[in-house]
Structure 1
Amino acid sequence: MDCNEFKREMTSLFDADVDKALAAELKEHLLTCSACSADFYEMEEVVECLNPRYLPSAPVLLKQNIINHLSKEKQPMKNKTTRTFRLNSTIKKVAAIAAVLVAVIIAIPLLHKGNESLVGEAKAGNSLLESSIKATGLIKNMVMKLRVRTLPNDNFALVGTEYDMVEHTISKSFEKPEKWRIDKGGRVVVCDGKQQLMWIPMANGVYKGSLDAGFVEWFRILLDPESVLRKEQTGITDKTSEVRMAEKDGEIHMTVTSKAQGNFINDYSKNRSINESDNRREYVFSSQTKLIKSLKIYVLEGSKETLILETESIDYNVPISPSTFALALPKGAEVTDLAAVQNIKSETFSTISSKRAAEIIFDSMAKNRWDAVKVPFAQYNFLLMKLIKRKCSGLKVVKIGEPFKSGLYPGEYVPCEVVLRDGYTRKICLALRNDNENKVWLVDGGL
């Protein structure tokens, strides 16, 4: 598609019923032509300016009169001869704007549904996010380098103000089937469009899961900038977030502040992930492309704030080697298929409380009866179990407390106090979850 064709069909991108093949051609041209991109975003800004402050509502009788009138005119219009005119460039531009005006008028109820009460910076933020969502839909791939306060060998979801910054790299291809890779050094997760594989070098273990496997937990949202933007849009619309806007040096700065999500009757999980923290997100967008240029996230604890995540670079539409989305299994690595874990069965560990499960687990550890706890440790490979056995065999149980929920964790925490074989007393919050198909309690952390 050349520039003339693009300009002739550009307004189709504002039509919800646009032909998919045409839309694909238009988006493809947008990616390669800066001049046409500028025209498109200029027209988009015109559309935004034309959005009315209040929703007009046509009376029911007026609507019915229009329908009746159109019905009467239908047959005479069919009989009239169609005439074709050639338009010069000036008239074309006017016609394009007119087409957009018609689209805006028709789309008023859709564009403003749920957003009628937004004012000031919230409304500006919502408008910016909408533009950025459209721009993000045009990108083919992305490489993001960022730093997060976490532990290199631990879960991707884990963050903590006391941890050092750890380098992460996210690579994503948006072409179907979507493929991606997240690497934090001590853990690597790769999705090849068919399945996910997670490698933990420390344990020399590979975990295999479906496309929906939760290996990267909340981190997954960073794989899809559009999801990030839509989540922010929801916060603005629901008024659960506060927004501040500023524009300078060809960049748009947007700051969003939100409260922690989840149940914090017990605050054990507070500040252990970004969603479970009071936090502030600082975005920088390109004024021209509307794409995200950078992101910083701060955890807020009273008057104290700690930078928990910051992007070092975000590159769009850059060459990515196909080998990035493949994981060569390391020599001697043990492969654990989580599909089998999801289907695991156990009458013992599915008919009891989490507290009773913890009692059985620790009693078995104390008596070195490890065969009795194969089921709850089904997610742990040989090397990890070897480490746990070395540490926990022959322990003595001092106390097992009452289970509790905290934050967004789907399972339960069971507080325990034990004396290890070396005489060291340790307080543990054993994380147990039973959100698998057969509601079997599985050890998910804490040891």
Structure 2
Amino acid sequence: MNCQEFHKMIPDLLAGTLSPEELSATREHLTTCPACAEALRTAREALRSVTPHFEPSVPEGLEAHLLDAVHRRATASKTPERRTPRRRFIGILSGVVSAAAVVIVILTFGLNTPVRAARNRLTQAITSMEGLRSIRIDLRIRTSEAENFDYTNPLEEFVPHTIEAIYKPQLLWRVEKPGRKALYDGHRTYLWYDSLNDGLIQPYSPDAIGMLNLLIDPSQLLELERQLTRAHDGSRYELHRDAETLRLTVISPAQGDFSQCDRERNTSIIESNTRREYRFDALNGRLLGARVVFLDGDRERTLLEIDRIEYNAPIDSATLAALPEGITWEHPAQALPSGRLIGIDAKEAAWLILAAFATWDNEIVDEALRNYGAHARKLLQSRYSGATVEGLSEPVRSGRYPGWFIPCTLRMADGSREKIHMALRNDTPDKGWVIDGGL
């Protein structure tokens, strides 16, 4: 790449729209050409000084019209011509500022508001992670050891988590926290619980680790954030740079529908009002760390914090994929449905399942509890066998949960009462209802 070619790419470089190949070529040129590096620095400073702190509504076609005007201004002959008001405006504009400044004005009002600047930074960070061989991440999350990997609660204490992944020659990953662990060995996903000695074997299932799946390859998390910049969901973006790091802050409202029920509010990062803070290496663009802060009015509490990211970490594939001993493994897909929980609505399914509790009808109960291991089902049987239904309310939706919550009152076998919010979903391949929590 020569200097002329580089200068043509400056607008796209500032906008973050270069292809990985073009970006690599510009970086290589900058290492050998101080003049172009200084030109890029000047353009960035000028752009930063005029970038507004909101994303304006740009009239359709404005950017194309301005670029076309600049192009015609640069290539037009010197033959005098009658100027319309529009051409007189472009002439004045180009007479006051250079062509580069015109491009900066275009970028400011069409491309590089804080939202778009954040999007460009995320694009560069995603590109910087290409070619990784492995990764290890140590992080802390306010959650419960027994809960799923998606669950967060600002009132809980921090629980340490470890994520390890190998990308080549095939993807392998392992996620651990006290009480619950999961791994993918290149063929199947294993999920197990230390306290129950229960384990489930599934086909490849990133849902087994919820949001942490995005950190198996951090570029997935950054890609999600990049997509969210286009969602217009009320999020605000801030970008700050110092000598060594670039910091991106995303302030975002809770996502999901809470019009029927607040049950899921503040039970996950995506369903909470948060401030997400990312730190990037200013030189190579890689993610250095992240923090998610729960926002509740004037109160703040950190929900998640990455303590360390080690790229190309020395991870042994055999150790990573090793399974523990003493675990009873089950294949949920082998639990063939009876059909009695298929083709009915959530309330009918809840009635049928709870009625089966009274006599512990294994045909129905095992189908409804197919996502629970053998030990867990035995514990539930010891608690709920003989229970009868005293009350069952209408199912409600909450947050982003794909199923329904059904408030129930049970008369237990010992005569006591217990109120539960049974979580039911039927997004399984056979569309049969299963219990997903609440017991």
- Report Cα offsets for 1:216-248 as digits up to 9, x if no partner: 122211212111112222222334321112222
State the AA in 2 paired with 1:253: R
State the partner residue of 1:39: 31
Per the TM alignment, residue 397 of structure 1 is displaced from its structure 2 partner at its CA by 2.0
State the partner residue of 1:402: 394
Out of 400, 421, 438, which is 2:430 matched to?
438
State the partner residue of 1:230: 223
Out of 280, 292, 295, which is 1:297 matched to?
292
1:314 aligns with 2:309: yes
- What pairs up with 1:257-276 in 2 under 5 angstroms? 257-265=251-259, 266-276=261-271
State the partner residue of 1:191: 184
1:242 aligns with 2:236: yes
1:215 aligns with 2:219: no
Judged with a 3 Å threshold, the aligned counterparts in structure 2 of structure 1 residues 367 and 339 are, in CA distance, closer, same or farther, namely: closer
Judged with a 3 Å threshold, the aligned counterparts in structure 2 of structure 1 residues 213 and 336 are, in CA distance, closer, same or farther, namely: farther
Matched position secondary structure for 2:306? strand
Per the TM alignment, residue 423 of structure 1 is displaced from its structure 2 partner at its CA by 4.1
State the partner residue of 1:325: 320
Per the TM alignment, residue 16 of structure 1 is displaced from its structure 2 partner at its CA by 4.9
Q: For the residues of structure 2 that align with 1:44 and 1:156, how far apart are their CA atoms?
A: 45
Listed as ranges, the gaps of 5+ residues in structure 2 are 1-8, 48-61, 73-102
Out of 115, 126, 150, which is 2:119 matched to?
126
Whether the 8 Å contact between 1:261 and 1:275 is mirrored in structure 2 is yes
Whether the 8 Å contact between 2:257 and 2:399 is mirrored in structure 1 is yes
Q: For the residues of structure 1 that align with 2:379 and 2:30, how far apart are their CA atoms?
A: 59
- Report Cα offsets for 1:98-132 as digits up to 9, x if no partner: xxxxxxxxxx9xxx9xx974444333322222221
State the partner residue of 1:202: 195
Listed as ranges, the gaps of 5+ residues in structure 1 are 1-10, 28-34, 63-107
Q: For the residues of structure 1 that align with 2:37 and 2:384, how far apart are their CA atoms?
A: 63
Judged with a 3 Å threshold, the aligned counterparts in structure 2 of structure 1 residues 17 and 162 are, in CA distance, closer, same or farther, namely: closer
State the AA in 1 paired with 2:291: K
1:339 aligns with 2:329: no
Per the TM alignment, residue 45 of structure 1 is displaced from its structure 2 partner at its CA by 9.9
Whether the 8 Å contact between 2:409 and 2:418 is mirrored in structure 1 is yes
State the partner residue of 2:250: 256
Per the TM alignment, residue 259 of structure 1 is displaced from its structure 2 partner at its CA by 1.5
Q: TM-score, normalised by structure 2?
A: 0.76
Identity %: 27
Matched position secondary structure for 2:383? helix
Per the TM alignment, residue 291 of structure 1 is displaced from its structure 2 partner at its CA by 1.0
Q: For the residues of structure 1 that align with 2:389 and 2:225, how far apart are their CA atoms?
A: 46
Per the TM alignment, residue 350 of structure 1 is displaced from its structure 2 partner at its CA by 0.4
Per the TM alignment, residue 310 of structure 1 is displaced from its structure 2 partner at its CA by 0.5
Q: For the residues of structure 2 that align with 1:41 and 1:302, how far apart are their CA atoms?
A: 50
Judged with a 3 Å threshold, the aligned counterparts in structure 2 of structure 1 residues 243 and 36 are, in CA distance, closer, same or farther, namely: same
Matched position secondary structure for 2:220? helix
Per the TM alignment, residue 40 of structure 1 is displaced from its structure 2 partner at its CA by 9.4
Q: How many residues end up aligned between the 2 structures?
A: 373
